[in-house]
Amino acid sequence: MGSQHRRERVEELVRSFIASELMLNEEPALSLVTITAAKVSPDLKHALLYWCKANALPQESADANTEIELKAAIPHLRKRIAESLGLRYVPMIKFEFDRTPFMSERINTLLKTKV
């Protein structure tokens, strides 16, 4: 149970730290990125970060430029994690577009039209 609790703490720590770093980024494409969730492997060596763009339409959100910029930022983000968070392992980072906000919006729209 303790390792599950630790993993959840690391997930939130990494999610909030990466979100802050991206918000401060000078690259306009990255400053609009919202980190919606993080999943860390049980050994804490891999982190999957789910992202979407703030105030964007679904078709605009998962653009290739943002994905390229996120991939390019990974070495810098890992370096910042190592400098700032004091984790035993700096997780390998992978980004994945999060469709959940758009799916929930679609479901809400459908529910409103049915009522």
**Residues 81, 62: Cα–Cα separation, whole Å:** 25
Q: Provide mean pLDDT across the span 77-97.
A: 95
For the cut 70, the answer to whether the pLDDT of residue 105 exceeds it is: no
pLDDT at 64: 82
**pLDDT tens by residue, 3-37:** 889 999 999 999 999 999 999 988 888 888 999 99
Query: What residues make up the domain containing 85?
Result: 2-114
**Residues 21, 109: Cα–Cα separation, whole Å:** 33
Provide the CATH number for the domain around residue 109: 3.30.300.20
pTM: 0.81
For the cut 60, the answer to whether the pLDDT of residue 79 exceeds it is: yes
Closest CA to 36 of 21, 16, 7, 65: 16
If one counts the domains in the chain, the total is 1
Q: Provide mean pLDDT across the span 52-64.
A: 67
Q: Provide mean pLDDT across the span 34-63.
A: 84
Match 């959940």 to its residue by tokens. Answer: 100
For the cut 80, the answer to whether the pLDDT of residue 62 exceeds it is: no
